[in-house]
Structure 1
Amino acid sequence: MTHCFFKVKTQFENLGDALINRELIKQLKPTEKLIICIKNVPTDFLKNLDIESAVLVNSSIYFYYLMLKSRLSLNNVNYFLNPGGYGGKISPKKVIMYLGTTFIFSLFKIIGIKVHRVGVSFSNLSTFHSYMLRLQSKVLYSNSVRDSLTFEICRKLKIRVSKIVPDLAFTLAYENSNLEKTYDIVISVRKPNNNIESLFIALDKIVKSAHGKILFIYQVKFDQDFQERLYSRYKSYDVELRDLSKLLTENERLFSQCKYVVSNRLHVLLLAMSKGAMPLALIDPAENSKIIGIFKDANIFKLIKDYTNCNNAYFSNADITTIQDIFINNHKLINDFFTDLNK
């Protein structure tokens, strides 16, 4: 029998992380048994996950005990690490954690527990961080990245990579409602570290080009202050501001009611695309390389606008059939990956 194990450990205040965790769990559910550790996971975050048929464990020790017991019973045991982005510097404490988990994964490898990292991207890695990832990749059963840009980074840094598996958000079912749209533009923008005046110039042009109501939203509490600042900047226009940081279902309903979505957050863009909204990735390439990699692989690079160097019209429509095909094709690649693991 195949038993899958997954420990929910991520940024609980980020609905984008809730999305890819939910979609990973959906991919694991067809196995004979799915065990999920939910220790320290907030109740609001759990509401976004599809965990009804899984065995839920609220103790890390018991979780790993069940994993060892399953393997000693000669089951095929797969342990999945959290999807998402890795980048930047790491603290001395984090280095010690990497070394500890790498040692544990080495023991797992010896006894036949397969550890998988899937749906990840790497950017702006410090020397220590890249070394830790390189060391850990040697003991993983599979280390799959979500875009070719990350694949190339790994090749240069000698981080072992199994293959490219698209972002897990591409498992979403594509829907495009023919109903009249409530909002012309939805804007959800994280405050950039640099070039903020360039961002304001770009947003000024976008807001002035609107042919209907504009809605500012935040999926992440971290974005609230900046979205409120943008709302105040454009309050002379037909604008609203909403907090959508609690439930994915609220975001899904909203995106089906809007024509365009402007964001520098990857999973705002992908979730909006899945509901038929046309995305505009408004980015600084120095800060948003994961969006560049994933959009480039999906052949929708023209939907990216670099606000630090852009004099052209901002909105570029992609063919709806093309976007639908992107979800269908990437969904198949993801399904094939998980099907192969369970053979």
Structure 2
Amino acid sequence: MSKTFYSAYTCKNNLGDLIINKMQIEEYSKYGEVYVDFTGMPDNFKNILLNSDNPNIKDFTDTYGQPYRGKHFLQVINLLKKEGFTHFTKSPGPYAVLSLPLKKLIIRLIGALGYMAANFLGLKVFAFGIDLDYISNQPKWLKWFNIKYFSLYNALGLRSLKNYEECKNDLNNTKYVPDMAFLYPKQTCINTNRKQIAFSFRHVTETETLLAELKEILSIFVPKGYAVDFIFQVEEDRSFAQVLAKNLKEYNLNVSSQCIWYENLNTYSKYDYVFSNRLHVLLLAAKYGAIPFALISKDLKERKISNIFNSISLGYLMKHIGFTNKEQWIELLSNREAIKHEVNNALEYQKQICIKRIKDFYQQV
């Protein structure tokens, strides 16, 4: 039986982080015990991840009396070896690479010591469902450093095919492992006639361009009887939702008063379509039967949406703002059932890839 050490991390009140951590931990727990270090993490994150119905998921600090994060992390690595741990990993998502300036590089190298020590002591060091960008704006010597560092991992699971293609020639330990949100179970929703759409956007500098797009969408959907809500699953998006709604006040749009969290995830079951520039808003909405349409800007944070949607053959449900047309929204509305069928198939296919990649890794001798 495996014994996995898992260092958990989240941004404050970020439901996407919660879901990808929870799904990943629960999948790993099928193959043995998973001890999670929650140092510095909020209770509303920790309490949901510590599933009381799953005895294989445990609090590392409560069990062993010390956290991994901190000045004694190398001692903790030795403890892991002594206690029979077999695997070593941390939260999925974008991974920090070795980068300049020098102070930042030194801090990253100190953090890398834990992974180096775990590898040296024989633990299987791995990371699945991640983004890895050590190429952009990096001098050649620093790219070489990154390749050497990430070669220490026994396995790296990159969550887009584009990222996999970028890295596979440098790193022979990479595979395509889809985003962990695909492991979230598909929800059976009774309401099949959902005459509502939702907008959910993180702040973009091209606000006027986004507003023009939303007006175009509203001009198609509102006359067809659709009600429209602004929703958010990251608290920091609330103020931008209010700004957008104020500029679209002639449509009498509703701004949700409550941030979507784990307890009210079924909010998504109300919607036929969800338009967003947040990856996990789109993927979770799709799990509840909504058609996810990505409207993205030039912000580099949104590039992962394009990469992932193209990886799962749903690139036609993603457009850059300012490059759409009215006919596209008409087609989206008229082909609703066919699109929902394609989305469901894509979600299930990616889920099975994810399950198989994890199973194959844990069952390696």
What is the TM-score when the length of structure 1 is the normalising length? 0.88
Change in Cα spacing, 1:212 to 1:322, as seen in structure 2 (3 Å) is closer
Quick check: 1:205 aligned with 2:205?
no
Instruction: State percent identity of aligned pairs.
Output: 23
Quick check: 1:108 aligned with 2:104?
no
Q: Contact 1:6–1:81 (CA<8 Å) still a contact in 2?
A: yes
Give the Cα separation in 2 of the matches to 1:294 and 1:238. Answer: 33
Partner of 2:202: 190
Quick check: 1:247 aligned with 2:250?
no
More strand by percentage: 1
Quick check: 1:222 aligned with 2:220?
no
Residue 324 of structure 1, aligned match among 341, 344, 361? 344
Moved more, 253-262 or 8-17: 8-17
Residue 81 of structure 1, aligned match among 90, 96, 116? 90
Q: Contact 2:77–2:114 (CA<8 Å) still a contact in 1?
A: no
Partner of 1:151: 164
Q: Alignment length, in residue pairs?
A: 339
More helix by percentage: 2
Quick check: 1:60 aligned with 2:74?
no
Partner of 1:269: 282
Partner of 1:174: 186
Could you tell me which amino acid in structure 2 is paired with residue 292 of structure 1?
A: S
1:49-107 CA deviation, whole Å, 9 max, x = no partner? Answer: 2533322134324987666445335x461111211124797654442232113233222
Indicate the RMSD between aligned Cα atoms, in angstroms.
2.7
Q: Contact 1:172–1:327 (CA<8 Å) still a contact in 2?
A: no
Quick check: 1:279 aligned with 2:292?
yes
Give the Cα separation in 1 of the matches to 2:39 and 2:214. Answer: 41
1:286-333 CA deviation, whole Å, 9 max, x = no partner? Answer: 532211111111111111122132224344345333222222221111
Q: CA deviation at 1:116?
A: 0.9
Partner of 1:232: 246
Change in Cα spacing, 1:84 to 1:244, as seen in structure 2 (3 Å) is farther
Moved more, 259-268 or 292-301: 292-301
Q: CA deviation at 1:11?
A: 1.3
Partner of 1:26: 26
Give the Cα separation in 2 of the matches to 1:337 and 1:93. Answer: 36
Q: Contact 1:187–1:263 (CA<8 Å) still a contact in 2?
A: yes
Moved more, 307-316 or 4-13: 307-316
* Structure 1 moving runs of 4+ over 3 Å: 61-70, 86-94, 122-126, 128-133, 158-161, 180-183, 243-246, 312-315
Secondary structure of the 2:347 match is: helix
Q: Mind listing any 5+ residue stretches in structure 2 that lack a counterpart?
A: none
Secondary structure of the 1:325 match is: helix
Secondary structure of the 1:118 match is: strand
Q: Contact 1:44–1:246 (CA<8 Å) still a contact in 2?
A: no
Could you tell me which amino acid in structure 1 is paired with residue 219 of structure 2?
A: K
Could you tell me which amino acid in structure 2 is paired with residue 304 of structure 1?
A: M
Give the Cα separation in 1 of the matches to 2:242 and 2:48. Answer: 25
Partner of 1:134: 147
Could you tell me which amino acid in structure 1 is paired with residue 342 of structure 2?
A: T
Moved more, 306-315 or 326-335: 306-315
Q: CA deviation at 1:234?
A: 2.1
Could you tell me which amino acid in structure 2 is paired with residue 235 of structure 1?
A: K
Change in Cα spacing, 1:47 to 1:241, as seen in structure 2 (3 Å) is farther
Q: CA deviation at 1:132?
A: 5.6
1:217-256 CA deviation, whole Å, 9 max, x = no partner? Answer: 1211221221110121223324211254362231x21111
